[in-house]
Amino acid sequence: MFADFLRRLTAPAIDPLTEGDARLALTALLVRIARSDEDYALSEIELIDRITASRYELSPADARALRTEAEQLEAEAPDTVKFTTAIKHAVPYEDRLGVIESLWQVVLADGQRDDAEDALLRTVSRFLGISDMDSALARQRVQGN
């Protein structure tokens, strides 16, 4: 279903994504981080819906539809390194930094930091071109520190 989208995203000469495609790709990263501990909990699903509704000014129904589409994209997307590197080249830095903050929200949603989620978030941050310092600051903002 997403073969053409993924082919465009991972092509050697990447054009900037449309706003809708960027939303989809970035939401797929939220889904990937939530699934990384093999416990894709309802609380994480609901949080992804709230994040996307707020971030993109979507109705609850539109946020659910975006997440559902992102779940399908995430399942078909290449390995995390290739996927996030492609996003790095196609999405502005500010949007990528905002997604790191959202990823921390998802990781911390269940009240515990899982090693698999932490490792994936570090990998995603690095390949999105986000420094460890900016990622740590994003985590602190989420935690209210």
pLDDT of residue 88: 84
Lowest mean pLDDT among 4-18, 23-37, 113-127, 130-144: 4-18
Each residue of 38-57: pLDDT tens digit?
889 898 999 999 999 998 99
Top-confidence residue, 118 or 7 = 118
Which single residue is written with the structure tokens 């994480």?
Answer: 44
Domain annotation for the chain: domains and CATH numbers: 17-143 (1.10.3680.10)
CA distance 54 to 82: 28
Each residue of 10-20: pLDDT tens digit?
666 656 677 88
pLDDT of residue 11: 66
* Strand ranges inside 30-145, DSSP E: none
Averaged pLDDT for residues 93-118: 85
Q: Can you read off the two tokens belonging to residue 133?
A: 């310092």
